[in-house]
Amino acid sequence: MSEYRATIGLEIHAELNTRAKMFCSCKNDPDEETPNTNICPVCTAQPGTLPVVNEAAVEQVLRVGKAIGAQLADFTEWDRKNYFYPDIPKGYQITQYKYPLVSGGSLAGVALTRIHLEEDTGSSRHDMGDFSVVDYNRAGVPLMELVTEPVIHDAETAMRFGKELQLLLRTLGASEANMEKGQMRVEVNISISKTDKFGTKVEVKNINSFSAAGAAIAYEMARQEAALEAGEKIIQETRGWDESTGKTFSQRKKESANDYRYFPDPDIPKFVCTEVFGKNYEKLAPLPELPWEKRERLLALGIDAKVVEIYVSDDTLGKLFDEVVAGLSGDAAAIKLASNYISTDLVSLIKAEPVLPLKLSAKTFIDLVSMIGANELSSRGAKDTLTIAYREGGVVREIAEKNGLIQKSDLGEIERVASEIIAANPSQAAEYRAGKTSLLMFFVGQGMKAMKGSGNPKLLGEIFTKLLG
Ligand SMILES: [Zn+2]
């Protein structure tokens, strides 16, 4: 165990899911592939243009703040962050410095410092030959920046926070938050120390997955410890994460806030949130059920925590299960049984042969468990019926009937099948009669096979016991 303790803070950017950009009416379309299509004089910084605040973006950030129990700003303003780079046509980025929209709050047990709103930059490409090109489609897209307090001490907590934020943003419809597409970008600030005093902070960028975040944190903890143990000093700097080598590398010395010469943007009027969204923010669109509320509700139904996570993180399965719950009106045993078929059978069917959108519905599972309850389907028959419903759609009862899967509780027929099996397996029958009663399972299995899953295993067991007795 290392004597050093790491202290980690996260800075997470998320592109907001608005129709228009932050300060102009250009389309905010992350899927646009033709460069420089969604641009206008405002987002390309032509002289004489004026930015106009997109209220929908402000509302989304305020709703995130409300969801995490943070303090929502009344007054806010936008500031210019000055630096030169070809992907910011104005020579500054419009952001919020002194008056973030959201302060405090906590998520997944991690305290937040602030959430503010800014505009995204364009994107540069350096793979076009002897020159670089810039695409301004992304310039001016509303970007939320969230900063946590430096209260995280291990990679797992950092990754859990990131995943929970992603889930929250998707639940609120605020962002797709797809890390591979750059819609959510994580930066890690990390220092290590043997004492209560913070060590020198290093910032790691270019992280494009949660597992990369975990790996980058582990790498930095080891690198900083080795450096300190060798008597070296940690330099305050920005480092990049190299996915191919699994290492961080020095990019540049960290700028201080002064280098950016922040000042309020004189082109944008001061913004009083309560004038727009109501005195108590009552005009904000209402929040949907939040991930942690949903977790609690499903756990109370007696659903296993791992399965609950499937329903919370997968929108399709979560909605399907909610409809099943509504359709089974409080029958706890039936709900659990239906949940088993969704979380094991359906999930493995989707994995093995994806058929999306789903051809089956909540009714499939409601019918399935009611037929099992009425002894009309064995669990084998239910699995087969579900597989057919998954591949082809259709009504459960009709599928079961058409494929001979309705469980036969007809004693005469079961006795006939059982007698045939005993006659065909004389040595096993003799062993059973000589006392090897564990062979009952063999006979029941043969019976189920002969009846192609339509046999009632309980009845088969009783009849074999009788006939072999
Ligand atoms: Zn524009």
Cα 90 to ligand 1 centre (Å): 13
Cα 97 to ligand 1 centre (Å): 23
- Beta bridge mates, 190: 8, 202
Q: Phi then psi for 142, rounded to 5 degrees?
A: -65, 130
How many alpha carbons lie under 13 Å from residue 281 in its C-beta half-sphere? Answer: 23
Ligand 1 ion: Cβ-proximal residues, 5 Å cutoff: 24, 26, 40, 42-43
Q: Which amino acid is at 232?
A: E
Q: Are strands 271-272 and 263-264 parallel, antiparallel or unpaired?
A: unpaired
CA nearest neighbour of 39 among 50, 30, 49, 28: 28
Cα 136 to ligand 1 centre (Å): 9
Residue located via tokens 């239906």 = 338
For residues 11 and 146, the answer to whether their CB atoms sit within 8 Å is: yes
Fold exhibited by the domain 411-468? Arc Repressor Mutant, subunit A (1.10.10)
d(CA 220, CA 190): 8
User: What per-residue string of b and e applies to 267-279 under the rule 16 or more CB within 10 Å gives b?
Assistant: ebeebebeeebee
Cα 186–190–193 angle (5° rounding)? Answer: 165
| Position with higher pLDDT, 39 vs 380 | 39
The pTM score is: 0.85
For residue 451, the model assigns a pLDDT of 83
Local confidence band at 255 (pLDDT 50, 70, 90 cut-offs): low
State how far the alpha carbon of 209 is from the alpha carbons of 57, 107, 187, 370, in Å.
25, 19, 11, 43
d(CA 466, CA 469): 5
For residue 285, the model assigns a pLDDT of 96
Which ranges constitute the DSSP H helices of 68-209? 155-172
List pLDDT tens digits, range 389-443: 999 999 999 999 999 888 777 778 888 889 999 999 999 999 999 999 899 999 9
- Beta bridge mates, 147: 11, 114
d(CA 85, CA 83): 7
For residues 370 and 418, the answer to whether their CB atoms sit within 8 Å is: no
Peptide linkage before 357 cis (omega within 30 of 0)? yes
For residue 288, the model assigns a pLDDT of 96
List pLDDT tens digits, range 297-306: 999 999 999 9
Q: What dihedral angle (degrees, nearest 10) is formed by the CA atoms of 225, 227, 231, 233?
A: -100
Cα 94 to ligand 1 centre (Å): 14
Tell me the domain boundaries of the chain.
Answer: 5-277, 291-402, 411-468
Q: Which amino acid is at 128?
A: M
List pLDDT tens digits, range 98-150: 999 999 999 999 999 999 999 999 999 888 889 999 999 999 999 999 999 99
For residue 254, the model assigns a pLDDT of 66
Tell me the chain's radius of gyration from C-alpha atoms: 30
For residues 288 and 171, the answer to whether their CB atoms sit within 8 Å is: yes
Cα 426–428–434 angle (5° rounding)? Answer: 105
CA nearest neighbour of 94 among 86, 105, 82: 82
Cα 140 to ligand 1 centre (Å): 7
d(CA 244, CA 13): 23
Residue 226 has pLDDT above 90, yes or no: yes
Cα 267 to ligand 1 centre (Å): 16
Across the chain, mean pLDDT equals 93
Cα 438 to ligand 1 centre (Å): 76
For residues 362 and 320, the answer to whether their CB atoms sit within 8 Å is: yes
Cα 41 to ligand 1 centre (Å): 6
d(CA 222, CA 73): 40
Cα 89 to ligand 1 centre (Å): 12
List pLDDT tens digits, range 23-43: 999 999 999 999 999 999 999
Residue 446 has pLDDT above 80, yes or no: yes
